[in-house]
Structure 1
Amino acid sequence: MSLAAETRAAVRARPWLLQALRAGVVNYAAAAESLDVDGDTDSIATALRRFADDLEPAETAERDVVVRMRSGVGLAGVDVGTDDSGSLDLDADAEALLSVGEEAVVTADGSLTAIVVDGEVDASALTAVVGRLRAENVLVDAAGVAGDELVVVVPRSDGASALRTVEDALASVSEL
């Protein structure tokens, strides 16, 4: 494998570096030193510059979404059996907002808050939302996206600030 191919593979293994290259905010020498690629730093930095030149510049787009907050949700194990409609078997009063395997985010007097986003959402939107919440030191207990709905679950005490952060994150999602 050539030095250029090794460098590109090392960058792809670090999505944050790929995003920084697309945004044009990389110190190439420092990035070259951080990569585990055999070769001298100047050659690796040159390979990084050439790779960055080949990438599409980072663009952002505002999403058409509605963001709302649901307090009192919790995480619960659920019976993974389904009824005739294909829905999870839950208590009559509980609604599953998100489920993975045998765990679900349910609306049943829990101590958490769900931020529910309806509209133009996808994996890029989820990445932006979770990244922004992490940057704000907000613990994310659960997160997922399917169809036109995105859900993130945070501690109740962080609900209002998480709502504002999610709205702000979705105002400029990076399009890959």
Structure 2
Amino acid sequence: MSLAAETRAAVRARPWLLRALRAGVVNYAAAAESLDVDGDTDSVATALRRFADDLSELESTGRDVTVRMRSGVGLAGVDVDGNDSAMDAGGDVDALLSVGESAVVTADGSLTAIVVDGNVDARALSAVVDRLAAENVLVDAAGVAGDELVVVVPRRDGANALRHVESALESVPTS
């Protein structure tokens, strides 16, 4: 594999670096030193510059969404039939999100769900989770399906998470 091909592969393995190259905010020498590519730093930096020149510019768009907060959600196990274990205890419990044998349910829990309805997809979810991570907000669960996105955070972080989610969805990378 050529130095250029090896450098491109190393960048693609680090989506954050690819995004930074597209945004034009990379110190090429420092990035070259951080990559595990056989070659001297100057050659790898040159390969990075050429790769960046070939990339489309980073673009983003706002999303048409409604964001709401739902407090008091919890995590529950799901039995083999897909029923929430919280249902066995009685009460009116809905699953907001389920993956495998776990579900986010509307039981009397210690978590808060940020529920987004509208123009959402995996890119929107990525932007939301990245923004919350940058703000040091723990994400207990997250998912997107159809036109709904759900992010679950500790109750004490709910109001801040709501603001960060709204902000993140104002500028979602388009590619």
Query: Which TM-score bucket, shorter chain as reference?
Result: over 0.9
Q: Contact 1:80 / 1:101 at 8 angstroms: preserved in 2?
A: no
Render the CA deviation track for 1:67-118: whole Å, top value 9, x for unaligned: 000000000001231xxxxxx4232511000000010000010000000001
Q: Contact 1:3 / 1:44 at 8 angstroms: preserved in 2?
A: yes
TM-score (norm 2): 0.95
State the partner residue of 1:105. Answer: 104
In structure 1, what is the Cα distance between the partners aligned to 2:96 and 2:164? 20
| 1:175, distance to aligned residue in structure 2 (A) | 1.2
In structure 1, what is the Cα distance between the partners aligned to 2:109 and 2:139? 15
State the partner residue of 1:49. Answer: 49
State the partner residue of 1:84. Answer: none
Q: Contact 1:73 / 1:109 at 8 angstroms: preserved in 2?
A: yes
In structure 1, what is the Cα distance between the partners aligned to 2:102 and 2:32? 42
TM-score (norm 1): 0.95
SS of the aligned residue for 1:167 comes to: helix
Alignment of 1:16-95 (within 5 A): 16-81=16-81, 88-90=82-84, 91=87, 93-95=92-94
State the partner residue of 2:151. Answer: 152
Name stretches of at least 5 consecutive residues in structure 2 with no aligned partner: none
The structure in which a higher percent of residues are strand is 1
In structure 1, what is the Cα distance between the partners aligned to 2:80 and 2:30? 49
Verify: 1:4 aligned to 2:7, yes or no: no
SS of the aligned residue for 2:131 comes to: helix
In structure 1, what is the Cα distance between the partners aligned to 2:119 and 2:52? 29
Name stretches of at least 5 consecutive residues in structure 1 with no aligned partner: 82-87
In structure 2, what is the Cα distance between the partners aligned to 1:128 and 1:141? 16
Measured on the aligned residues, the alpha-carbon RMSD in Å equals 0.8
Aligned positions, number: 170
